Structure 1
Amino acid sequence: MDDDHGPNRRRNRRGQGALLREDILAAATELIERDGHSGDVTLRRIAREAAITAPSIYAHFADLDDILDTVLNGYFDDLRAAILAASEAEDTQARSLLAGCRAYARFAMERPGRYRALFHRMRPGSEASGGSETSDAPNPPEAPVAPPPLPRLPSRMDVFQTLIDAIARTQAAGQAAGTDPFQDALAVWAAMHGAVLLRMTAPVFEWPELDTFIDTLVIRTAQVTQVG
């Protein structure tokens, strides 16, 4: 018999909206971690995992994208918090940069399902258009055509901005030779992302110890000249 009608099925809870919302997010999180990505998560699977009926989800979330974006934005917030906590414990800008990057890599290796899911759905949010795409009113004939909006990925870009800021401070302290924090941050992020994915997909390779490897990678790509 389908799980949706099984004998152990709980009735939908009434008057517990906040709790039910958390149950839905917890169910989606469990499925993402179990699958190792978000691609196979559906509303039906979330409802089954949370032991509720699928229609009851719509009282709390607009659709599947709304649920997954909420969960993944939370993951990015957790990642940023881990980076900041590690960075703030150090006494030089270069050490702070390296500590934050080590925290990034450890987050990825300790939570591989969450980490893969973060980038599986790296796309502009529906709020990027500011609502203009849903308007039925045509532009006046004399109005110029506006360029497409830039992607808006708040939680995701907050993490990247943290890296840009750390590199900028390291350069300003005279501990890194670069002059373009944005470009150097792109290089560091690409290098770290590739490094952790390779470690996940080729675990039998004799990889160096994670923290030491990340330090070496970041020192080279961020052009760090002085750590102490």
Structure 2
Amino acid sequence: MTSSRRPRSARGSGARLREEILDATRELLARSGNADTVSIREVSRLVGVSAPSIYRHFSDKDELIDAAVAQVFENLDAAMGSATDPAHSPITRLRDQGMAYVRFALDNPEQYRLAFVPTGEHGPSAVDKVLGSGAVVRFAETVREAMDSGVIAEGDTLPVVLELWAAAHGVASLLIAKPALPWGDVDKLVDRVLGAACLGHAVLDIIGGDSVPDPDEGARWLAELRRAQGDSSL
């Protein structure tokens, strides 16, 4: 990979150079799919600056990779924020935020993949960075509101956030990886999957209390509910 030497930046253009460095880092991450294969030398070559110019903005490669991935989470949070209507109920906002999450992934598949690129950092600090991102914090706040309203059982928000995130990430990843499958109307599919995840969690709380109910127990509960609905329509 070659690049011509970048013209000397005009005075005051440091912020622009920083963004170019981050753009180049994200491009290399998208190409390779792994942070281990990205080097400061490659980034400097792509931008057209010397390696010391990059070190003026980022102390090391880890800080550079963190900043590149953090921007993806910021963009994701902005998309979820624009889809959040405070006039809607918490459970509807959870669905809306999940829909915005999946739409962001489908509209920006390369960016979305970057959020899950292996960075080689697997300890508590890496976990804290993900859980402290705006998108996850926003989702957790909405789960807390759903608990406060009585729709979801009171408790730790983190397990609920991770379960609902798994549903959104699962459908987004499948739609990106296997677009040729007969999904039908994608918006309806995503709406149904996320609606089932949100409402399903609340229903499991009612049926099982502190534990996950046996599938047969849940089926009996639903059958009784259907019979009651049928009787009321007579």
Query: Same fold by TM-score, threshold 0.5 exceeded?
Result: yes
Partner of 2:230: none
Q: How many pairs are equivalent?
A: 199
Whether the 8 Å contact between 2:95 and 2:191 is mirrored in structure 1 is yes
Whether the 8 Å contact between 2:84 and 2:97 is mirrored in structure 1 is yes
Structure 2: tracts of 5 or more residues without a match: 204-234
Partner of 2:5: 9
1:219 to 1:3, Cα distance in 2 relative to 1, 3 A: closer
Structure 1: tracts of 5 or more residues without a match: 129-149
Partner of 1:86: 83
Q: How does 1:135-174 map to 2 (within 5 A)?
A: 151-153=127-129, 156-174=132-150
| Match of residue 180, structure 2, among 204, 209, 226 | 204
TM-score (structure 1 length as normaliser) = 0.72
* Deviation of the 1:189 alpha carbon: 0.7
Please tell me the root mean square deviation across aligned C-alpha atoms, in Å. Answer: 3.1
Whether the 8 Å contact between 2:28 and 2:43 is mirrored in structure 1 is yes
% identical equivalent positions: 26
For the pair 1:110 / 2:107, whether they are aligned, the reply is yes
CA distance in 2, matches of 1:195, 1:49: 34
Flag the structure with higher helix content.
2
Partner of 2:189: 213
Whether the 8 Å contact between 1:36 and 1:112 is mirrored in structure 2 is no
* Deviation of the 1:177 alpha carbon: 4.2
Moved more, 178-187 or 10-19: 10-19
* Deviation of the 1:19 alpha carbon: 3.0
* Deviation of the 1:27 alpha carbon: 2.0
1:68 to 1:85, Cα distance in 2 relative to 1, 3 A: same
Whether the 8 Å contact between 1:188 and 1:222 is mirrored in structure 2 is yes
Partner of 2:63: 66
What secondary structure sits across from 2:49 in the alignment? coil
CA distance in 1, matches of 2:92, 2:189: 15
1:107 to 1:214, Cα distance in 2 relative to 1, 3 A: same
For 1:20, the aligned partner's letter is: L
CA distance in 1, matches of 2:138, 2:121: 19
Whether the 8 Å contact between 1:163 and 1:185 is mirrored in structure 2 is yes
* Deviation of the 1:11 alpha carbon: 4.2
Query: What CA deviation, in whole Å up to 9, does each residue of 1:86-119 have, x standing for no partner?
Result: 0136532222221111100011111111111111
1:77 to 1:184, Cα distance in 2 relative to 1, 3 A: same
